[in-house]
Structure 1
Amino acid sequence: MPTYKITGIDVDFPFEAYDSQLVYMEKVIQSLQQKCNTLLESPTGTGKTLCLLCATLAWRKSLGGFSTGMRERSSQSEGSISDVSPSQGARSKLPTIVYASRTHSQIQQVIQELKRTCYRPKMVVLGSREQLCIHDKVSLLRGKTQTNACRMLCRKRGKRSCAHYSHVADYMKKNPHLGDEPIDIEDLVNVGRRFGPCPYYVSRELHKVADILFAPYNYLIDRNLRKILNVDWNNSILIFDEAHNLESLCADAASFDLPSWLLTACISEAKNCIDLSIARREESNDKSHNPDNFAILKALLLKLEKRIAEVPIQSKEMGFTRPGLTS
């Protein structure tokens, strides 16, 4: 396997590198050394992903060894798994690499590229419960319903608890080398089906000690998902692969829909609450049933409806955009 000296870093590349690939890896390493943001573009088929991985991992390896073969355990995580990640106090101060792409199918392709390199960092792929849950009933649910059902079963004890969740701590203790070799979502699911531990919580535990983690964009863009990751964002390398639609994804993450029918239903519900509160107060002579708060809510909703109706929308295609504040 050829080795190239690029800005003082020995980069092992699985093939004889083209000049364009050497230039690409040079720019990647320069941005890492200078701790700056970099926008890189390369045509399809030029080995961009392989260059990104080799250059970044070579630079990271030059700072210190990978966590491969080691299993650090926080005292807060011994014997229990939590939705809230423990602090990074016991972890190395070496930077964590977060490799984000649009979809899990694209991440799977990136992992295939990682297998072609000689680098073996401790790694993990992050996924949702919909992709990783193997519980007979919970796996059939979706969205918040699935999340709530999972958390409820994980809090229970005995026969009514999730058996897969209860096996995670013991499995991780007996298999400290999990993640030393590249694994993807399907591999985690196969581990769960074969040996019993919950693939979702296995990935959540594994990411606490990973040198590089792979995830879809929303794990970095969505504030709630970002908060639960055990990552020191001030000491991390963020790679957005295939980032040409990142702007629209950020806009979607900061947006929400408020259909007119929903606003109308809210106004009607507020009116019903007013009537119900008045009726209960008259029946029981209980002054705690105060309709004033519901009346205020109804007034606010009516005002919102009026202001929305005043927005000068010329066409559904163009919509309406208000200019941002200028400082």
Structure 2
Amino acid sequence: MSDPHLPSDTEILFSRILHAPRELVWEAWTNPVHVAQWWGPRGFTTTTKRHEFRVGGYWEHTMQGPDGTNYPNKSKFLEIVPQERITYLLGGGSDLEGDERRGTTFRATWTFEAVASDRTRLTGRMVFPSKEARDRVVRDFGAVEGGKQTLERAAEYTAGLQTKPFVISREFAAPRDLVWRVWTEPEHFSQWFGPKGFKIKLARFDLQPGGMTHYSMVMPEGKVLWGRAVYREIAAPAKLVWLNSFSDEAGGIAPHPLTKDPWPLQMLTTIVFTEQAGKTTVTIHWVPFDSTAAERATFEAGRGSMAMGWTGTLDQLTAYLSLNP
């Protein structure tokens, strides 16, 4: 007997526990306004043309890849069990059943399992007409990695729905390419990053998706702290996304070393770079990731200290850029 939790040779299965209640995950999946913010692999955008969320209704949307290629999708909802399950048939043409017989589409079932009051296992299972059809989608469209990235983006988006992000911006009298370089080249990054007065030493700098920057921070009084950034998205020269944490010397995640309050173990950090008239605005979004209610409360109470820390960091960046025209 086959294991229902493992995919067969005609299926693709991906699953992730989101640190969000089931009703919130359901809303993020079923509301096209929310879906547009996280659906698809990193770098993709989604535009919905029609969304009839009922059995027999259609969802038409276009996914655009980072290279500008458009991927039209048309789905027919076959089953909807509120907050539990959604099944649809997806294809590129108007005759979905005909597409399925030709092996150019699949049936997808998404399940929403509450594993705790604030944890939801979101699972997507795509069933193809044949192993060959499944293999073609994996080979030609990177469906396995795409599904993984989609669920990562869902986790990031639902984190932002539960906590108002901390946002800070600064305009720099420097072109975007230069500002991007000082964020992404280790010889520059170590000279200015971190709170004012801290000295940064890089133990590792691996600028690629999944790569990690690991660094020590020496406080003015000599105490040594460790931090790390694990990169999620790198879109030169416009956007950086990483998960920021306090760390130990070995590179593991560690709790905040300067407080007993439950500070979030991971912070989703998004840095956006925009340029106008030769000047660059850097906007930083910070939000707790995979957090508990207590961690989010500590985050909310700490906005003043966050503003102070990031202001000092950006002051140091301003001074550094003035020396590197």
Range into which the TM-score falls when normalised by the shorter chain:
under 0.3
Taking structure 2 as the reference length, what is the TM-score of the superposition? 0.23
Higher helix share: 1
Taking structure 1 as the reference length, what is the TM-score of the superposition? 0.22
Higher-Rg member (1/2): 1
